[in-house]
Each structure stands twice: as C-alpha cells, then as structure tokens.
Amino acid sequence: MITAAVAGIAGFGGLRTLATVVSEEKLPPEEPPIAIRKYGPPNMTIVQLIQSNTLRRSYPYALTTLLRTAEKLTTIKINPEPEIISSFEDEKIFKHPFVYVNFADRPDWTFTPLEQDNLKKYLDRGGFIFVDAGINAEFLRGNVKHGQHHSFGEWEACPPLREAFATIYPEKSFEPLERSHAIYTSFYKGLPDPSILPDTVRDFVTNEKWPQGTYSAVAMKVKGRIAVLATPIISMGWGKNQLGNWRTTIRFRIRESGPGLSEYLSTAAYDGARYETVREDGLKDVIYCQKTPPLPAWAHEPDGGWRVFRYYHSREISDYAHIFYTQLGINFIVYALTH
C-alpha cells in the first residue's frame, strides 16, 4: 500500500517549501509503483566534496544513481548531478543544504582556518554533512581501500574525523545514533522483505546486522539536530551501469557459533593482529584478524562468548544489500531535507 505524507523542507537561507513524500515499503527502490509527475527544473542540488583527483573518486557513479532513484521515487525535485567542490573553502556550500563526502575522497582531514570558519557557519545555519565510510574499524584503516569494500558495525567515528570536527566544536563529539531515531523511518520503514535471503544469513541480518532497517551510525548534533552523520561505507551499494545493473557485488559477513567453538577459539593460535571495536552498547568486542587481508576471523564478545566470521555470497544476497543501502541513502536525504 502506498502512503503519502506532506513535510516541510527546511530551505537554506531561511527559505522553505513543501514536498509530498511518497513511500512504498515493499518494492525495490528502482521500481516505483506509480509515475510521479513533476514540473519545472530541479530545485535541490547536493554538494559532493572530492579533494583528490575527481577521476579517481570512490564509486564515481554511486551518488548520481542514488539521486536519480530519489528523484524517481519522491516528489522532491533533485538534480541528479551533484555540485563538486574540492574543499570546504568553497562558498558554494552555502547555496545547498546537503553535503556528501566519501571519507576516502579527502586524503587530508585537517581543516584550514577558512574551512573551519565556513563549516561553523554552514552547520550553525542548518547545513547537513554526510560522511560515508566515516566509521572504519581499526583493522580496516591500514589501507584506505579496505574501508571502501568492507563495512563493519562499529559505533565510533574514525580518529581523523573526530579530530577534524573537534577543531570546530571542541565541546561536542560524535555520539552513537540510537536505532529508534527518525532518520531510519523518514521514507522507508524497516528492512526490505528478507524472504529472498538464505536461511543461513536471514536471522543474523534481521536481528543483529540491520535490525528494523537500521545501521551503525554516529552523529554530531548542532542546536539539537543532526548536523554531521557518519556511517560505515554504504555507497558501494548505490551505483548502476548504463544497462541498469549494479556495478558491485556485495557479500555478507555473519557471526556464527556452535558447540565447543568457544573452548576451541579461546586457545587457538592466530597469525594476525587483535583489535577492539566499540559496540552499540558502548562495550567492546575483541576482534582477531587474519594476516592478509586484515579481515576479522573471530570475535571474543563482552559476555564471554566467542564467534567466528563467515562470508556468504550469492546474487540474492548482493541484490538485497544494494536495495537496503539505497534505502538508507534515500532515508538520509529525505531526513536532512525535512528536519
């Protein structure tokens, strides 16, 4: 069933407009149930920051695909082509309410004095910044590509991001975003239908990995609202090619246990490193990694239990991840424009 809601979109510079947001919970984002009629040119543009070579940006077709999908599914008139900037010194940010940054597209997160000044004004006035891949577990930080291809459910922004924004708001910090937050239900509500998933992964995905369609995220709030949002990588799930096929293949990392496993792992030898990662409840898992590549092999959890990581891949799993990551991206856009 299609539901509709009218929401005020906070305009920049004091301007406000109205948009009717139409949501459909069952169908994949790329298959809208009805055609939505719109008139006139696009009136909302997203800014994308790319400090490195624009030809080498991470997932170059991801954001455009997401914006086209959002344009198709909502009555928000979105320009499918983002406005590209190379630093926050660019005053173009003041013309637009939403800035997207893939963490890897800015090699140096040291803000210049002008960037600090601009960002303070931008965020104080209601701007919204989404830092994709702004959460990277420590074992993924050795090579920037690891954090681009592997997400991990940690609830702590990576150190360079924390340090950068501390220069703007020394009294603030990134805090874990509760799963009940309205950002997860601003357009889509809940997970896509998980019945297409294999039995081996369905329970973990729906109960632990992405319960109720949520995701690990941290946020810095300014004047009581989310001003800066950071998550593990999700843009790897957005991009499509000219034929409409997904550009990437995604697999699931699942934690599994079994009889006698805890006793075995507690004394097992390993050749990789050991890391601590922050959980949603503030406690820490101890992650044991294989040596090459540095991916988690097993975890010692705060309750004393041990579980191994297993990887599952199939067309159904990959498609499901793409649909969910697109759903998250649209939720973030709609929330930022209506709050």
Which is nearest to 230 in space by CA: 134, 98, 330? 134
211 with 231, same domain: the answer is: yes
pLDDT for the residue numbered 41:
73
297 with 328, same domain: the answer is: no
pLDDT at 206 over 60: yes
pLDDT level of residue 292 (50, 70, 90 thresholds):
confident
Q: 307 has which bridge partners?
A: 299
Residue 182: domain span: 3-247+315-338
Mean predicted lDDT score pLDDT of the chain: 88
pLDDT at 320 over 90: yes
Taking residue 80's Cβ as centre, other Cβ atoms within 10 Å add up to 17
- CA 135/CA 144 separation, integer angstroms: 12
pLDDT for the residue numbered 52:
74
91 with 154, same domain: the answer is: yes
- CA 275/CA 42 separation, integer angstroms: 46
Contact in structure between 27 and 48 (CB atoms under 8 Å): no
187 with 288, same domain: the answer is: no
pLDDT for the residue numbered 277:
97
176 with 218, same domain: the answer is: yes
200 with 268, same domain: the answer is: no
Contacts 24+ apart (CB under 8 A), 165-170: 165/220, 165/228, 167/111, 167/116, 168/111, 168/116, 168/119, 168/120, 168/123, 169/120, 169/220, 169/222
How many domains does the chain fold into?
2
Average pLDDT over residues 68-85: 92
pLDDT for the residue numbered 17:
35
